[in-house]
A and B are shown apart, each in its own frame.
Chain A
Amino acid sequence: MKRVYVNENWCLACHLCEYYCAFANSGGHDMATALKGVKLHPRISVEEKDLVSFAVSCRHCQEPLCVKSCITGALTKTDGLISIDRDKCVGCQTCVLVCPYGAISPAEDGVMQKCELCTKNGCEPRCVQGCPNAAIVYEER
């Protein structure tokens, strides 16, 4: 299955992935109007220290602890894709407690959100499209 992979050698810590993610999931048509003055809750986040940086988003684990631990059944895995039914989620954050990558976080409303590879946005992952240096790629490995 195609997944998002990150190569820190090419990450520039520009944080564009976060903005493209937030934009893709905002449902807006123009980034300027969609994100202006908005506190961002991207589903991918850049970790930085000194000269090293890289983006982290859901790895869509083969044995996903988040799905197994979810107390509501909101997190499910279908055809390799781990997605969340935000309607079912109550924000207990058990998934945050178990995700080894720190890739799940609450949205503005406290309900959890995670990378779903833009499958609900009808496009290829926007973080990948928005990365200026192919530090984030979407491919089969």
Chain B
Amino acid sequence: MSKYVIIGNSAAAIGCVEGIRSVDSTGDITIVSSEEHHVYSRPLISYLLQKKTDLKRMKYRPESFYDENHCDIIYKNTAASIDPEKKSVYLSTGRSLSYEKLLVAVGSSPFIPPMAGLESVPKRFAFSCLDDALALEKALTPTSRVLIIGAGLIGLKCAEGISGMAGSITIVDMSPRVLSSILDEDSSKIVQQHLEEHGLKLILSDSVDSFAGGRAILKSGQSVDFDILVTAVGVRANISLVKDAGGECGRGITIDSSCKTSLPEVYAAGDCTESVDVVTGQTRVMALLPNAYMQGYCAGRSMAGDAEAGFTNAMPMNSIGLFGLHIMTAGSYEGETYDSYDNGFKRLFYKDNRLVGFIIAGDTSKTGIYTSLIRNRVPLDTIDFPLICERPTLMAFSKETRKEFLGCAR
């Protein structure tokens, strides 16, 4: 029996290990990984194709991580079910593991909408894990015509990743905008233009009706010929493991501020969960690596007995670079706005004396100052608001606050 069992082997799992070890340096930890890779960073798969990283460098933690943290790792295994009564997890191989504390960090799975004839497409890929990327890379030739379904974060990062390796790239999205989940209309136009300048063919407000061999027939009647298909429409949280065991779930696994599920001694963290967005107060799935790590870390500390552990300021945020254009977004897009087109695009959203969100494309320097205003719910009347609208700067804070920032250990 292992004191701690962690199902999953990505950011939330690693956060959990580090969280446990910050409190308990000896308790046994067993990690169950569905893949057979050492822990790597999922978002890096597009950078891998771009050759900005490689298999060795994309490891999320050093080779010695499991040894140094005294973790047993079981590769190529998934958890089939949890018995919270017996405090046991049953693996797909039939093996069972008993635990004192369990973390479910099983992430999300690509969601593929029904499209007639999809099964008949021979070169068809998802783009969410390393094996997907390696398989895609293998299939690509310099003349490949690639069709990507989905102009969201995954689809566009995939497009960037393969842009130097494919003949042409066409992206279809049913939304009228690119990155519709994180950009508003004005900013998506800027990004769209940038993408088109870099050779991407974007077909928006349209979707694939059916496939016929190497041809996709769109709802509009238009058709796209392709050699390789990538589906990147979206992901769904993997909730069944907890749900089947009787745990509470919404769109993601329900957790409290210490990352505990409704099942006793079962915690959950990362893309499979839903949590409270500090900006809106609403519960939602925020599938972001920083949140996953911080939830995992919080869960780990909590599992190891730190009653104070809590992660209460999760918020949606994204930093994405596409063909040299950096885009950062955070929070929610409501309330009044401040716009600037001086160095690219900047739109700040503020409401009830708080900054609640922003969309920045182009000059992203010091953007974290905006993020912290949102995360820490800083009342705007305590800072120089016109100045901070103009540029993110610590100068906008009071002299006392600046002294705290720069003259004290933080």
Residues of A in contact with B (beta carbons under 8 Å apart): 1, 3, 5-8, 47-49, 52, 54, 56, 59, 61-62, 65, 68-69, 71-73, 87-88, 90-102, 104-105, 141
Report whether A97 and B317 are in contact in the complex, using a CB–CB cutoff of 8 Å: yes
Cβ of B371 and Cβ of A100 under 8 Å apart? Answer: yes
A96 to B43, CA, bound (A): 17
Bound-complex Cα distance A72 to B319 (A): 13
Chain B residues with CB below 8 A from A1, complex form: 409
Determine if B356 is an interface residue (Cβ-Cβ < 8 Å): no
Docked CA distance A47–B408 (Å): 18
Stretch at the interface among B51-59, B92-100, B197-205, B274-282: B51-59
Instruction: Kindly state whether residue B27 has any CB partner on chain A within 8 Å.
Output: no
Chain B residues 291-336 with CB under 8 Å of chain A are 293-294, 297, 317-321, 326, 328, 330
A68 touches B294 (CB 8 A): yes
- Contact at B330–A97, with CB atoms within 8 Å? yes
B116 within 8 Å of A (CB atoms) = no
Chain A residue at smallest Cβ distance from B327:
A93
Is B367's CB within 8 Å of the partner chain A? yes
Q: Is B44 an interface residue (CB 8 A)?
A: yes
When the two chains form their complex, are residues B53 and A8 in contact, meaning their CB atoms are under 8 A apart? Answer: no
Interface pick from B71-79, B139-147, B209-217, B390-398? B390-398
Contacting pair A49 B406 (CB below 8 A): no
Inter-chain contacts of B410 with A (CB < 8 A): 59, 61-62
Please give the distance in Å from B72's CB to the nearest CB on chain A.
21
List B contacts of A8 (CB < 8 A): 399, 402-403, 406
Given the contacts A49-B395, A71-B43, A92-B319, A141 and B365 also touching, CB distance less than 8 Å: no
> Which 7 A-B pairs give the minimum distances between C-beta atoms?
A102-B366, A69-B290, A100-B372, A99-B368, A6-B406, A97-B319, A90-B47
Most chain B Cβ neighbours within 10 Å, of A7, A95, A101: A101
The reply to whether B367 and A97 form a contact with Cβ atoms under 8 Å apart is yes
CB B117 to nearest CB in A, in angstroms, measures 36
The residues of B that contact A96 with a CB separation of less than 8 Å are: 319, 328, 364-368
CA distance in complex: A133, B305 (Å): 48
Partner among A48, A95, A141 whose Cβ is within 8 Å of the Cβ of B408: A141
Whether A94 pairs with B289 at a CB distance below 8 angstroms is yes
- B residues near A49, Cβ cutoff 8 Å: 387, 393, 395
Let me know if B345 is at the binding interface, CB within 8 A.
no
Q: Are the CB atoms of A100 and B321 closer together than 8 Å?
A: no
List A contacts of B47 (CB < 8 A): 90, 92
Q: Verify B53–A90 contact, CB threshold 8 A.
A: yes
Tell me, rounded to whole Å, the shortest Cβ–Cβ distance linking B198 to chain A. 16
Q: Output the least CB separation between B97 and chain A (Å).
A: 26
Apart from A52-B395, A72-B53, what 20 extra A-B contacts exist at CB < 8 Å?
A: A5-B408, A6-B406, A47-B393, A69-B294, A71-B44, A72-B41, A72-B57, A72-B60, A87-B57, A92-B43, A94-B319, A97-B318, A97-B328, A98-B290, A100-B372, A101-B369, A101-B405, A102-B366, A102-B394, A141-B408
Q: Which residues of A contact B320 (CB under 8 A)?
A: 92
Question: Which residues of chain B come closer than 8 Å to A5, judged between CB atoms?
Answer: 406-408
Is the CB of B61 closer than 8 A to any CB of chain A?
Answer: yes
